[in-house]
Amino acid sequence: MTNPTPLDAAQLFELIRNSELALVFVSVHSRHRFNRPLATTLAAEHQDIAFAEITLRKLLLGGPSVLRFLHQGLRGCRAPVTLGVLPGYYLFRRAELIAWDAGLPALADVSALARSAALGAIWSGVSNDMSFIGQALEWAADQVAAERLSAVFRQAIAGAQRAYTRRESEPPPREDVYWAYQMLGVLPTASDREVHEAWRRRRREAHPDHAGDDPVEFERRSRISRDINRARDVITNHRYPGTRGATHAWAS
């Protein structure tokens, strides 16, 4: 389904937590629309991607926690941060912001837009309906932006996957292993089953669902949950390098 789901600020956390991939469009006014050709392209490549939209006004009214979360994400993916949270497209993978783009046509798109304007002018002359020029420009702007954005997001998704695979396959540093056992509250001599049970217990204790409607507590619990998952992955890679622990007790 490529139709974006309308969100408020509180629902944003729930969406990105429950989606492997999520593209959230932040709009500034009613004429600032979600790019449907972009959604069609991404949905064809990633069947599990979720689409949503939220107005900048709703984000600003959502409180400082959601704005701080997005601002940190923008900084993490090297997007502009001087003006705070910006309108545009926010791509999340496993609740982490991996790419942002304003979604506007670039200078390289001028020639394609000019051709569409010329075609619209011809049809306007034939039909005496000047609206064809505007429609042609609008259609062309969506198409060229969709092509460029899909390439940007495709690269971001591939890069995030490579980074995840590299972290999973490389033996972790000694200090990371020490941290991981501390995070799960077990000794290095713990069995695989004991590590798995400690991970499950810590996940239950820190689950974001227990945050209620408090976005600050949700963000805190989400961060802890990511650390707990990472701790188990670090121990897995340390004990079974390159295997991701798929055949071991805690993968059950």
- The last residue of one of the domains, among 46, 70, 103, is 103
Distances, alpha carbon 129 to alpha carbons 116, 121, 138, in Å: 16, 9, 16
pLDDT value at position 249? 46
CATH number of 213's domain: 1.10.287
Does residue 85 form part of some domain?
yes
Does residue 83 form part of some domain?
yes
The range of the structural domain enclosing residue 210 comes to: 171-245
Task: Kindly report the pTM of this predicted structure.
Answer: 0.62
Q: How far apart are CA 40 and CA 222, in angstroms?
A: 30
Tokens for 45, please give them.
Answer: 């490549």
What b/e sequence results for 169-185 when a residue is b if at least 16 CB atoms lie within 10 Å of its CB, and e otherwise? eeebeeebbebbbebbe
* CA dihedral sign of residues 92, 222, 202, 177: positive
Does residue 88 form part of some domain?
yes
pLDDT value at position 123? 45
Q: How far apart are CA 222 and CA 218, in angstroms?
A: 6
Angle at 175 between CA 170 and CA 179, to 5 degrees: 100
Does residue 235 form part of some domain?
yes
Provide the edge-to-edge strand list for the sheet that holds 88-93: 5-6, 49-55, 21-27, 88-93, 96-101
Q: How far apart are CA 168 and CA 17, in angstroms?
A: 21
CATH number of 38's domain: 3.40.30.10
Q: How far apart are CA 195 and CA 186, in angstroms?
A: 7
- The last residue of one of the domains, among 103, 137, 157, is 103
pLDDT value at position 79? 83
Residues of the chain with pLDDT under 50: 116, 119-120, 122-123, 126, 132-133, 244-252
Does residue 179 form part of some domain?
yes
- The last residue of one of the domains, among 53, 74, 103, is 103
pLDDT value at position 137? 57
Does residue 161 form part of some domain?
no
Q: How many domains does the chain fold into?
A: 2
Does residue 112 form part of some domain?
no
